[in-house]
Amino acid sequence: MTGQNTSQRGGSTSEGNLELFFDLVFAFAMSQVTQLVLHDASPRGLGRAALALLAVWWAWVGYTWLINTFDTANVSHEAVVIAAMAAMLVAAAALPAAFTSAALVFGIALLAVRLIHVAKFVAYSSDEDADLRRSIRRIAPAFVAAPACIVAAAFVASPGRELLWIAAAVIDYGAPAVLGLGGFRVSPSYFVSRHGSIIIIALGEAVVELGSGATNLHRVAVIAALVLGVAIMATFWWTYFGLTGGAEQRLEQATGTERANLARDAYSYLHLLLVAGIMLFAVGAHAAVAHPGSALPLLPAISLAGGMALFYLGDVAYRWRDHRQVPIDRTATGLAAAATVPALLHMPAIAALGLLTGIGWVRLAWELRHRPRIGPGVAGQAR
């Protein structure tokens, strides 16, 4: 964004340093989501982490649409985004106790993030663009109502607290589908670049959890588990970035409301499955590295294999919505990973990592053999 004039985006624009700076807060927020599961390894902990991820993801999505729509390189714009960062950092710091002692702090901080977002959208919408102005006014109440539910949840005991979080998610994710996004602009290069960055951030969080599980590096099994964990994450990276292309071109070919709907479905909605899959895998990988010689308990086993399955099946869903293709190899890999859960309960964790590594690399070898690689510089476009 540096060096660009204030304007509404509609052409080919890439993310700038401010957005990457902004993402640092969300990297921390993602790590805090995984802490919810690691500190409460139960179905309740997993469910709360899922609700927290829904709230964090939609905050990130909102600012992606905001900055994508308005390209403003000035001090006031940067100050507003940094103010939103500060509010989001407070929310992220409160996340591990967002359902208990810090519920009100988290809710108010998230509400502040959303209010800043809505205020900036309204302030920068041009009177000359009636369609965009109407769309903002139509969807803004829902964007504020969702965090208001989370604030209200702080005053309610469980399970009412969790039900209000669910209501917030329904409002957040349902409003764009029901009310539509007609009038919103999408810069294809920006959208593809931003969502590639968030996949890298999620993979970075998985690396942190993998490494933090290695508390005894004097054991060869721990080192081997780290290597296998990286090998699995490498298949995630290569699956998303390395082999197929055309994501930016497909967004460019769509126009108007069709482009906005494609961006909403393929990126704002379906990329959440990819991120959730990586983060779920990270929880299981942490446990596997911590105790490589022992069989995984049920929840870590589900996290390890289920995270891998969710990533691949989420990738299939994204590709179906993006260009109406169902990659058989990726579908089979997701289903095969899910099917290993019963077996993982009866083998050492390092063997579980080895099994999933084998599944991922067999698929990767098949695709390398049957699909031609695109040229250099695929990292920003290879989807």
> pLDDT digit string (tens) for 268-304?
999 999 999 999 999 999 999 999 999 999 999 999 9
Check residue 80 and give its pLDDT.
Answer: 83
Integer Cα distance of 216 and 199 in angstroms: 29
In a domain, 380, yes or no: no
Same domain, 231 and 332: yes
Check residue 10 and give its pLDDT.
Answer: 45
Among the three residues 152, 179, 206, which one is the final residue of a domain in this structure?
179
Same domain, 117 and 227: no
Check residue 99 and give its pLDDT.
Answer: 95
Question: Mean pLDDT of all residues in the chain?
Answer: 88
Q: In this structure, how many other beta carbons lie within 10 angstroms of the beta carbon of residue 295?
A: 15
Same domain, 153 and 113: yes
Eight-class DSSP state of 242: I
DSSP string, 46-59: HHHHHHHHHHHHHH
DSSP string, 193-214: HHHHHHHHHHHHHHHHHHHHT-
| pLDDT tens digit sequence for 5-63 | 334 444 444 557 888 888 999 999 999 999 888 888 889 999 999 999 999 999 999 88
The number of CA neighbours under 13 Å toward the Cβ of 45 is 17
Give the pLDDT mean for 322-342. 93
Give the pLDDT mean for 205-233. 93
Same domain, 221 and 363: yes
Range of the domain at 136: 7-179
Among the three residues 126, 151, 179, which one is the final residue of a domain in this structure?
179
Check residue 118 and give its pLDDT.
Answer: 87
pTM of this prediction exceeds 0.85: yes
Same domain, 173 and 194: no
Same domain, 11 and 103: yes
In a domain, 377, yes or no: no
Same domain, 210 and 245: yes
Domains contained in the chain, number: 2
Give the pLDDT mean for 314-323. 92
Tell me the CATH number at 352: 1.20.1410
Which element (helix H / strand E) includes 350?
A: helix 349-370
Among the three residues 131, 151, 179, which one is the final residue of a domain in this structure?
179
Check residue 49 and give its pLDDT.
Answer: 95
- Type of residue numbered 65: W
Same domain, 214 and 162: no
Same domain, 205 and 301: yes
List beta partners, residue 8.
70
Between 73 and 360, name the one with better pLDDT. Answer: 360
Same domain, 169 and 247: no
In a domain, 1, yes or no: no
Token pair belonging to 278: 């990586």
Between 215 and 131, name the one with better pLDDT. Answer: 215
